[in-house]
Structure 1
Amino acid sequence: MKMMAEMFSIAPGDKDHHPALRCAVGVFVPLLTLVLLGRLDLAIFASFGAFTGIYGRGEPHGTRFALQLRAGLLMLLVILLASLAARAGGVLGMDESGTTWLLVLATTLVAGGCSVAISWFRLRPAGSLFHIFAFAAIASIPNQPPLAEGMLVAVLVTAFCLLIGFSSRMLPSHRSPWAWPRPLRRTPDERRAAWLEGAGYLVAAGLAGTLATWAGQWLGFGHNYWAMVAAVVPLVGHTTRHRVRRGVQRIIGTVLGLVVLAGILLLGLEPWQTVLVMALCQFGAEMFIIRQYLVAQVFITPLALISTLLVVPASPAILLRDRIIETVIGAAVGIAVVLAPTLRRRLRRA
């Protein structure tokens, strides 16, 4: 009963509208610009470049800029690697099945490597969820735009989000000290924890991607990387209870978010209206991501799928089906990985 109460409780707000507004503007302006230019094929590069703005949300301006700069550079590296990976299958002469498994392997390595990097730089939000999503989503695009154009958009949007991050310094009431953070000094325990966490992400993402790919080939559904993203959600948290709760919240929030998405799709929105909805979803996600993960997921789900539809049009019914199946597979794997150490200890005592 206690876990159920915690699952649906909402923590009090703490000026969450400030980072939410920054993130919403960071998504809306670049995507609207691409709509006006008729270059929605580059929208996914803008969307992931805008992820720079979610870091350092409650920090003073100087610290926030440093954290966002590190996060932005890491995301740009992931975007570049994803663009190159998307072309690797054709260069190597691999068939569709071989390319799929290659991307599962590459995404697994990104999951582990970026988790270590995030821990190393002490970035928040923790974990490599966004990097898994960015790498796999971009690498899965069948018709890649020119590499230089995609990277240019990603770099410009990253720079734009950095500007937004310290824009409030123009207001005396919101101005905070501009002090560059001290160099990071990591203890041996911190380094060990970073590598262990990276191993957990490697196992969870790899196992989820493998199971989702096998099941997809057997049952005929796709988007295996959604399972990999869902699998690492339970890995964030200080206690086993909290981690398991996040996995369950991911599933419930996804179901509710799909209902919202179905309603949005029924409206038949124009591209500029779709971009506005994405900005509103980004705002809602940042408003609740710290306070109530389930509610945040209601906004995150339509945001993620709409961004996919902008670049790779597909049947909405198939997307809805794939999202819930992949989420259940991934969340179940993530919860299993979280519970495995506890079960192992109990078996040793038996």
Structure 2
Amino acid sequence: MTSPAGPVGAALRDSARIRPADAAWAFALRAGLAVAVPMVLLVAAGEPAWAATAAFGSFTALYARDELYRPRARQLALVALGLVAAVAAGTLAAVLGGAAPILVVALTGGVATWLCTACRVGPPAGLMFAFAAAVASALPATAGAVGRNAALAAGAAAWAWLVAMAGAAVDRDAPRRLAVARALRAVAALEDVPPGTPGLTARHRAAVAVERAWRALPARPPAGPRGALIADLEALAAHAELAFASVHLRGEAARRAPAWAPGGTGERDGAPPVDWAGLRALAAQVGRSGPIPRIGRSRAEIAEVAGRHLAAELGRRPAFLRPDPAGGRRVWLGGPAIPVAARVVLGALLAGAAATLMVRDAGLGHGYWAAVSAVAVLQTPNLLGSVHRTVQRAVGTLLGVALAAVALLLLPGPWAIVAAIVLLQVVAELLVVRNYGLAMMAVTPLAILVGELAHPAPGAELIRDRLVQTVLGCAVGLLCAVLIRNRAAVRHLERVTAACRAAVTELRDRLADPGADPLPAARRVATLLTAVREAHDVVSGEPGRTPTDAEMVLRTEQRARHALTAAAARLRP
């Protein structure tokens, strides 16, 4: 029997888990370079406060970490516009005073979180927009500062965009290679996958990695030498897909008959054996620069590539631009993102109001840290993610303020502070993909030093305010996550999963009828398949979800994939 502390202990252990990371140095150095140049130029011009404002535009480089370069260019341009707007709104709130700063931070965080969730913009999602608005709203400002601060942020954002896009001149297919290498590595990690919930979690992690690899590949390989490279990557992605399918078959066999637990060769349940060492070797080769390893393509892998081509062609529109795939009449421009954004707005308002009272009655300052902490905790779309963020942010901040205290004592002036900010930015980006709590050990002194550069204050007050306001914001954010549950996301997952199963049945019936056109049914399956994965990513951390629910999602995805592969053979003989 599971003890009451079981789920709590599991959440705490997962919060402390160190995740593997690859290509972290390249991204971290990009982020450091993006923030360094504008700050150095402005400090050299004798305007350290302006340097702090420009830093928020530099945060453009923190987004689209592993995106392909063409969508990365678009996404970063929109992020840059959003950060400039956040700085302008925060500066205007500082001019207006009163309750305007709290309202602006809450609304900025909510709108940014809604759009980032709906458009599937990855971490740090809406957090940096709220951070930019919060700090800008806390600095003394006049009406003329609104345009100046927006221009400073825009200039830094333009530089950050160039830095983030510079890799395209070296190897524009590097993000594709990285995605395929991660898929191979994630599937190879299933060699000793345990039965039960831990094994199911690992299988879902591998399914997500394989899906991201396919999304990184074009619907059709281009002509010329790059076409051959893409074709080799497709073969490797299909290799990972079929190896994962083999593990999935054994997982289903273990669910039906525990004596067939994972770990054997797989012959008893019909799944082919997997070359685990070969998967790891391929992942290592693909992740490095140089030629892509070529593998002999089996008939099943060729069919898998054809099925993926069909799925990509039929379901390429982003989810937020298409009608509800389960048959609703509204456009899915929010769906599960709306409750997430509502929690952010409420959490930031409550945390900001409580911090304002503490500023007034207890003499504390920097109340915006409470609102930003609430926004940070609520960036994840489910309750389990909010619990993880709360634990990680609180513990990381506690250790980070100690580093900040040392930095404030030892750093002699603006130049030393700028150097420390750049170094901490690099360290934070190296750590954030491994563990958010570890990253907070660098983010906390970074945020304090940015505030010190913009508006110097006594070090002891900064440390005290950061600790108290962070704890307050985390507590309020977690309370909002508990009270405002994402039930819309649960209903959406159930609806699209049922619709996908029905669409697969229809497609199979059409494939069995030589006179029927399978294309409309295949298009519906491809659209619903994407919707199922997106919906499950949101719901997976909500309380009450059982291993059976997660297993149903995996089975639905596998059946849809098989049906699309068969449709590709019929449509493109």
What TM-score do you get using the length of structure 1 for normalisation? 0.88
Q: Residues 118 and 35 (structure 1 numbering): CA distance in 2 closer, same or farther, change over 3 Å?
A: same
Higher mean displacement: 173-182 or 146-155: 173-182
Shift of 1:216: 2.4
Unaligned 5+ residue runs, structure 1? Answer: 90-98
1:58 aligns with 66
Report the Cα distance in structure 1 between the residues aligned to 2:69 and 2:33, rounded to whole angstroms.
Answer: 18
CA deviation map 1:5-52 (0-9, x unaligned): 222221011211111111110011110111111111211221100111
User: Is 1:298 the counterpart of 2:441 in the alignment?
Assistant: yes
Q: Which residue of the other structure, out of 112, 115, 123, is the alignment partner of 1:114? A: 112
Task: Please give the root-mean-square deviation of Cα atoms over the aligned residues, in Å.
Answer: 2.6
1:184 aligns with 318
What TM-score do you get using the length of structure 2 for normalisation? 0.55
Shift of 1:176: 6.0
1:96 aligns with none
1:81 aligns with 89
Report the Cα distance in structure 1 between the residues aligned to 2:63 and 2:359, rounded to whole angstroms.
Answer: 34
Amino acid at match of 2:406: G
Shift of 1:107: 1.9
Shift of 1:175: 5.3
2:361 aligns with 218
Amino acid at match of 1:48: F
Map 1:1-350 onto structure 2 (within 5 A): 1-89=9-97, 99=98, 101-125=99-123, 127-144=125-142, 146-172=145-171, 184-186=318-320, 187=324, 188=331, 191-237=334-380, 239-341=382-484
1:95 aligns with none
Q: Residues 176 and 256 (structure 1 numbering): CA distance in 2 closer, same or farther, change over 3 Å?
A: closer
Report the Cα distance in structure 2 between the residues aligned to 1:228 and 1:291, rounded to whole angstroms.
Answer: 25
CA deviation map 1:177-226 (0-9, x unaligned): 89999763424456222222211111111111111112222211021111
Q: Residues 180 and 191 (structure 1 numbering): CA distance in 2 closer, same or farther, change over 3 Å?
A: farther
Would you say the 8 A contact 2:91–2:141 is kept in 1?
A: no
Would you say the 8 A contact 1:71–1:123 is kept in 2?
A: no
Report the Cα distance in structure 2 between the residues aligned to 1:87 and 1:143, rounded to whole angstroms.
Answer: 6
Amino acid at match of 1:153: L
The structure that is helix-richer by fraction is 1
Would you say the 8 A contact 1:286–1:296 is kept in 2?
A: yes
Shift of 1:136: 1.7
2:305 aligns with none
Count of aligned pairs between the two proteins: 335
Report the Cα distance in structure 2 between the residues aligned to 1:271 and 1:222, rounded to whole angstroms.
Answer: 22
Would you say the 8 A contact 1:53–1:161 is kept in 2?
A: yes
Would you say the 8 A contact 1:119–1:126 is kept in 2?
A: no
Shift of 1:235: 1.8
Amino acid at match of 1:280: L
CA deviation map 1:61-103 (0-9, x unaligned): 11211111111111111112222222224xxxxxxxxx2x232
Would you say the 8 A contact 1:66–1:180 is kept in 2?
A: no
Amino acid at match of 2:37: V
SS of 1:166 mapped into structure 2: helix
2:527 aligns with none
SS of 1:142 mapped into structure 2: coil
Would you say the 8 A contact 1:31–1:43 is kept in 2?
A: yes
Relative contact order higher in (CA < 8 Å, ≥ 6 apart): 1
Report the Cα distance in structure 2 between the residues aligned to 1:268 and 1:118, rounded to whole angstroms.
Answer: 37
Would you say the 8 A contact 1:111–1:201 is kept in 2?
A: yes
- Identity among equivalent positions (%) equals 30
CA deviation map 1:202-255 (0-9, x unaligned): 111111111111222221102111111111222233542332121011111111
CA deviation map 1:88-129 (0-9, x unaligned): 24xxxxxxxxx2x23212222222222222223321115422
2:297 aligns with none
Higher mean displacement: 35-44 or 187-196: 187-196
SS of 1:191 mapped into structure 2: coil
